[in-house]
Amino acid sequence: MTRVCLLGNDDVPLRQTLLGHETARHALATYELAEPFHNAIELETVSLGAAVSLLNDLNWYLVRYVDTVLVHEPSISEAEWLSRDLATAIRDGEIEPEASGRYLKVYGVEQPAESPATTDASDEVPDEGEGGRQHTDATAPRLVEPMYVTRTGGSMPEYDLRTVEETVVLRVTQRAFSR
């Protein structure tokens, strides 16, 4: 299964906004939505092609309300995500999956102020799918300060923009890297 994660702009409540538009609501109706990060929506599609197709269907909304699109295709990488442009280029055969891991955008993952051990169970609601728990906005981790890096010789520089315990690695195209 290919996962898609939409990270909303800071000034827009993404889930409310997308589901408030009839066309977006219909496009998302067949998917089980989760919130893995603050102001984000995640869903599973059957393939990379289906993920890219859904993103094309939602393009009008993505341009206006979404800061970043992440696509996770396990056959390409178990741990790293793809940008929308890179996912499209791989689907279209313009870039080979093996050649997609050089240019990276690395996000720090900032945990909410309360530790998970002290979080009240009422702060989480069951996810409707197999994705485990769905966070409410107050308990969702936040992706912060992306750092652009180049993988050389199989290794990648460590995230050093702030102290975080984990990161999310997004593979991007060379063109996105040079912006």
Q: What is the pLDDT of residues 48-79, one digit of tens each?
A: 999 999 999 999 999 999 999 999 999 999 99
- Higher-confidence residue: 6 or 155? 6
Q: To the nearest whole number, what is the mean pLDDT of the chain?
A: 87
Residues 32 and 68 in one domain: yes
Mean pLDDT across 134-159:
84
Total domains, the chain: 2
Q: How many CA atoms lie within 13 A of 66 on its CB side?
A: 22
Q: Which of 99, 118, 137 is the last residue of a domain?
A: 99
Each residue of 49-76: b (16+ CB within 10 Å) or e?
eebbebbeebeebbeebbbbbbbbbeeb
Residues 30 and 81 in one domain: yes
Residues 85 and 161 in one domain: no
Q: Which of 99, 131, 160 is the last residue of a domain?
A: 99
Domain region containing 87: 2-99
Q: Output the domain CATH number for residue 77.
A: 3.30.70
Beta pairing class for 81-83 and 166-171 = parallel
pLDDT at 124: 43
Residues 95 and 78 in one domain: yes
Residue 127 has pLDDT above 50, yes or no: no
